[in-house]
Amino acid sequence: RRQESEFMGNDVGKPIEEQLVTLKFASKSFEREANRNYKDEKKIKAKVKKAIMQGRTEFAEIHAKHCIGKRQLALSHLKMAAKLDAMSSKLQSTQFQLEVTKHGNNISKRMESALESQDLDSLRRITHELEGKMGIPVSESPRADVTDVDEEVKALISELSVNPLDFPSVPATPPRIRQTAASASAPLSNLDR
C-alpha cells in the first residue's frame, strides 16, 4: 500500500535541495513549452491570414481553432510554471525556517548564558551569528564601538580639563558626533535661513 506522501509526489527520502532543483527544472521546461506554443500560434496566425486572403474560409476557421488551442495551451503552461515557482519558493522558505529553528535552539542556550554573565562581547558575537544565519544584514561592526569610545574618552578629558596641557597626549578637539542617515538628511533648522 502506497503512503499518502508518495501518492502526492513527495519522496520522503529526497532532500529538500533536490526537490527544489526538480521544481525549478520543471518550471523552466513549462516556460519553454509555453514559448514554443506562442511561436506555433504566430505561424498558425499567418496560415489563417493566408487562407482568408485566398478566400478559403473553412481552412481559416480550422487554423483559427488550432491557433486558439495553442494560445490556451501556452497560457496553461505558464500558469503551471507559476504554480511550480510558488511551490519552490514556499519550500525554500520552509527550509530556511527549519534551519533557523535548528540553529536557534543552540543560539538561545548560548545567549541565555551570556545574558546571565552579562558578557557584551559574547552577546554581540551571538547576535551577529544569528543575524548572519537569518539573512539579516549585520547591523554594525563590534570594533566600531571601541574606536568611538576611545574618541569620546579623549574628548571628555579634553573638555573637563582646566588646562589642556594637563594631558599632553590628548588633543584639545571637540567630540566627533556620529551622524545617522536621518540626521544627515534633516535640515539644519533656522540657521540655514
| 73 vs 89: CA distance, rounded Å | 24
The whole-number pLDDT of residue 122 equals 78
* 77 and 17 share one domain: yes
Please report whether residue 41 resides in a domain.
yes
Cβ atoms of 167 and 157 closer than 8 Å: yes
Q: How many structural domains comprise the chain? A: 2
2-27 pLDDT per residue, tens? 444 444 455 555 788 888 889 899 99
The whole-number pLDDT of residue 168 equals 53
User: pLDDT band at 191, cuts 50/70/90?
Assistant: very low
Please report whether residue 29 resides in a domain.
yes
Please report whether residue 160 resides in a domain.
yes
Please report whether residue 162 resides in a domain.
yes
* 26 and 84 share one domain: yes
Please report whether residue 132 resides in a domain.
no
User: Which domain covers residue 52, as residue numbers?
Assistant: 4-98
Query: Can you tell me the mean pLDDT for 167-189?
Result: 50
Please report whether residue 44 resides in a domain.
yes
59-80 pLDDT per residue, tens? 999 999 999 999 999 999 999 9
